[in-house]
Amino acid sequence: MKKKFKLTDLDCANCAAKMEEAIKKVEGVRDASVNFMTQKMMVEADDDRFDDIMKQVVEVCARVEPDCVINL
């Protein structure tokens, strides 16, 4: 499953790159991209565990960029 999410308060391109790198390390994630300019994130992950994977993605992103909100 591939989904796009709107981000709020993503502060810099470096943070976006760090978030993308961290998301790709989450088990079950096949691909991910975080675009600072459009404030959007795309996550492609296993269909049957997508909700659980997204919980982990939110936690990982909060560690990298605590002010950024993923609008699920």
Q: What is the pLDDT of residues 7-56, one digit of tens each?
A: 999 999 999 999 999 999 999 999 999 999 999 999 999 999 999 999 99
User: Contact at 8 Å (CB) between 57 and 20?
Assistant: no
Q: How far apart are CA 5 and CA 3, in angstroms?
A: 7
Looking at residue 52, what is its pLDDT? 97
| pTM for the structure as a whole | 0.93
Q: How far, in Å, are 2, 21, 29, 49, 52 from residue 64 at the CA level?
A: 22, 10, 17, 23, 19
Quick one: pLDDT band at residue 62, thresholds 50, 70, 90?
very high
Q: What CATH number is attached to the domain comprising 62?
A: 3.30.70.100
Q: Which pLDDT score is estimated for 34?
A: 98
Count of domains for the chain = 1
pLDDT at 42: 98
Which domain covers residue 9, as residue numbers? 2-71
